């Protein structure tokens, strides 16, 4: 990798704040309170998914950067510059951080659009989510409290909630600014944090690191180390890191759990899904079709909770399939900044190739391609909406996470069969249920072995609501109070009480 590659200028009119990030010679790490390039001088290319142009370089982290980040995070934790800061003061700093992100809403949206291909209109909502999450967690430092258990009178015991220490947060590319929510929970608990963003999307993570310093988060408390999987691996292996919070693929999650065991790392994993959408014949079929479509077309299917298996009762299956094919065919595929785009590009050439390969796999398995992807034009990583009908649940396209705009329609005959198919997959992240029968909705929510069930809606989220999976979708929860808990441990403090 070199720093001398020709870089393209992007054909968009972006804000000065966004340009200030990606027009740097190298989008750097944020370590020990300063922006740094790599000791090795190495960098990696950053591509715009809408054009395929290399428009920026990210600093390629290595062992020197991981070592420096862990050292500075540990130093900050030990001297207590953040951990022991008065709770109300921590809250003010975190609220200030949220304000700075809000002031940079446009820039964050633009950075995620050129980095991950996130639609222009949607980028701002991700920034809003980040702001809301930081504000939510900012409220916690003054509310953390322990317990005094009843023990014999010659003793006093306090159970104190303390931060776990140095936390590594390893994140994917499909909602880059949203990672602020995990960072905020870890910081609110008093930890030092090292964020390793996905190598496809270094930009908004860089700005998150810079703004944290500006908000008054002390040096070393929030570090960002850019780079590929090896950097994540080095954090996982490092004995100076106490906990890893990972969001991404199942394969990488398992590798992290295994490697982390060597240092007994606390690990929480938010992995992928193959989430079913169950459409019962009593549902409002127009609403169900719209819901099933947005569940898979949203962010071009690159969402952990993408509704990638649509289970439809046989009595309405054909009608439902015709409707989604006709409506999906009208979706406008295009660049993240193009007016009217409804389905944006995939994040990378590699992701596009992966999705294309699954379309071939589905056909080879005998599923019917009811809506073929339109040929992708230009240099962007475009893949049109694709619908398979006649899918059997044992096909790979029904079992494996594709992470692209591919809808698989499966028929079912009875309610029991619907639940059996829904649960017959290695994942257990989420499910959607469309029915107007109240008791059926409750039966479904009990029968589905997943972390989240949405009824007559899909993919709503709120910072106060925990999010995560069962089975191969991982363990631990992000968001809400549970995320905070994951960054704390309980210390039992015993005191002997002598007689007067």
65 or 199: CB nearest ligand NAI? 199
- Residues 397 and 358: beta-carbon distance below 8 Å: yes
- Tokens for 34? 């300063």
Q: Is residue 401 within the footprint of ligand NAI (CB under 6 A)?
A: yes
Among 72, 247, 341, 478, binds ligand NAI (CB under 6 A): 247
Residue closest to ligand NAI, measured at CB = 232
State which of residues 62, 109, 141, 232 lies at the interface with ligand NAI (CB under 6 A): 232
Q: Which of residues 316-355 bind ligand NAI (CB under 6 A)?
A: 351, 354
Q: Which two tokens stand for residue 495?
A: 């005191």
Could you tell me which of 348, 272, 351, 277 has the C-alpha nearest to residue 304? 272
Number of residues that bind ligand NAI (CB under 6 A): 25
Catalogue the E-assigned strands of 280-416: 309-313, 368-371, 386-389, 406-412
| Residue 286 host element (H or E) | helix 285-297
270 is catalytic: yes
Q: Choose, from 304, 339, 360, 426, the residue flagged as catalytic.
A: 304
Is 174 an interacting residue with respect to ligand NAI (CB under 6 A)?
Answer: yes
Identify the CA nearest to 83 among candidates 222, 166, 188, 190.
190
Given 54, 270, 342, 481, which residue is catalytic?
Answer: 270
Query: How far apart (Å, rounded) are the C-alpha atoms in residues 64 and 364?
Result: 47
Torsion angle, alpha carbons of 54, 59, 63, 67, to 10: -150
**Least Cβ distance, residue 261 to ligand NAI (angstroms):** 13
Sign, Cα dihedral of 173, 174, 177, 179: negative
Outline where DSSP puts E strands in 109-221. 155-163, 166-170, 192-196
Q: How far apart are CA 311 and CA 292, in angstroms?
A: 10
Name the residue nearer to ligand NAI (CB basis): 276 or 411. 276
Under the criterion CB under 6 A, does residue 451 sit at the interface with ligand NAI?
A: no
User: Between 341 and 351, whose beta carbon lies closer to ligand NAI?
Assistant: 351
Q: Active site includes 365?
A: no
Residue 141 or 380 with smaller CB distance to ligand NAI: 380
225 belongs to the binding site for ligand NAI (CB under 6 A): no
Q: Please give the Cα distance from 256 to 269 (Å, whole number).
A: 9
Minimum CB separation from ligand NAI for residue 267, in Å?
11
The separation between CA 251 and the C-alpha centre of its own chain, rounded to angstroms, equals 16
Give the one residue of 172, 335, 385, 411 binding ligand NAI; rule: CB under 6 A: 172
Stretch that binds ligand NAI, among 44-52, 100-108, 231-239, 447-455 (CB under 6 A): 231-239
Among 198, 225, 316, 407, binds ligand NAI (CB under 6 A): 198
Q: For residues 178 and 126, give the distance between their C-alpha atoms in angstroms, rounded to a whole number.
A: 6
Which residues are catalytic, by number?
270, 304
- Report the interface residues with ligand NAI, using CB under 6 A: 170-172, 174, 196, 198-199, 228-229, 232-233, 236, 247-249, 252, 255-256, 271-272, 304, 351, 354, 401, 403
């Amino acid at each position: 990798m070199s720093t001398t590659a020709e870089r393209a200028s992007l054909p968009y009119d972006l804000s000065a704040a966004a340009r200030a990030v990606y027009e740097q010679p190298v989008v750097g790490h944020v370590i020990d309170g300063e922006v740094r390039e790599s000791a090795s001088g190495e960098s990696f290319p950053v591509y715009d998914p809408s054009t395929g142009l290399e428009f920026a370089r990210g600093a390629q982290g290595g062992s020197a950067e991981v070592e420096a980040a862990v050292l500075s995070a540990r130093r900050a934790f030990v001297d207590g510059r953040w951990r022991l800061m008065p709770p109300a003061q921590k809250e003010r700093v975190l609220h200030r951080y949220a304000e700075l992100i809000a002031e940079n809403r446009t820039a964050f949206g633009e950075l995620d659009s050129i980095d991950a291909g996130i639609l222009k209109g949607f980028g701002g909502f991700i920034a809003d989510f980040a702001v809301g999450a930081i504000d939510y967690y900012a409220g916690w430092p003054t509310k953390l409290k322990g317990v005094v258990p009843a023990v014999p009178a010659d003793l006093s015991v306090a159970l104190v909630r303390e931060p776990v220490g140095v936390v590594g947060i390893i994140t994917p590319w499909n909602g880059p600014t949203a990672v602020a929510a995990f960072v905020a929970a870890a910081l609110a608990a008093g930890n030092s944090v090292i964020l390793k963003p996905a190598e496809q999307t270094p930009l908004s993570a860089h700005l998150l690191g810079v703004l944290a310093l500006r908000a008054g988060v002390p040096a070393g408390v929030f570090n960002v180390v850019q780079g590929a999987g090896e950097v994540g691996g080095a954090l996982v292996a490092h004995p100076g890191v106490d906990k890893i919070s990972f969001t991404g693929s199942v394969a990488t999650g398992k590798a992290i759990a295994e490697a982390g065991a060597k240092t007994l790392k606390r690990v929480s994993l938010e992995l992928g899904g193959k989430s079913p959408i169950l459409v019962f014949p009593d549902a409002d079929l127009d609403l169900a079709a719209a819901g099933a479509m947005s569940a898979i077309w949203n962010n071009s299917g690159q969402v952990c909770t993408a509704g990638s298996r649509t289970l439809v009762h046989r009595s309405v299956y054909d009608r439902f399939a015709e409707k989604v094919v006709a409506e999906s065919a009208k979706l406008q595929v295009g660049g993240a900044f193009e007016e009217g785009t409804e389905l944006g590009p995939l994040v990378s050439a590699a992701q596009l190739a992966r999705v294309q390969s699954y379309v071939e796999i589905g056909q080879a398995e005998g599923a019917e391609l009811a809506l073929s992807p339109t040929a992708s034009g230009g240099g962007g990583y475009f893949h049109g909406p694709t619908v398979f009908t006649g899918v059997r649940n044992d096909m790979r396209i029904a079992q494996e996470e594709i992470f692209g705009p591919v809808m698989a329609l499966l028929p079912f005959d009875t309610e029991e069969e619907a639940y059996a198919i829904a649960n017959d997959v290695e994942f257990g992240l989420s499910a959607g249920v469309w029915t107007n029968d109240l008791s059926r909705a409750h039966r479904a929510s009990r029968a589905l072995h997943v972390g989240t069930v949405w009824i007559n809606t899909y993919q709503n989220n709120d910072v106060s609501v925990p999010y995560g999976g069962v089975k191969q979708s991982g363990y631990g929860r992000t968001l809400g109070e549970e995320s905070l808990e994951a960054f704390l441990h309980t210390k039992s403090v015993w005191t002997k009480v002598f007689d007067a």
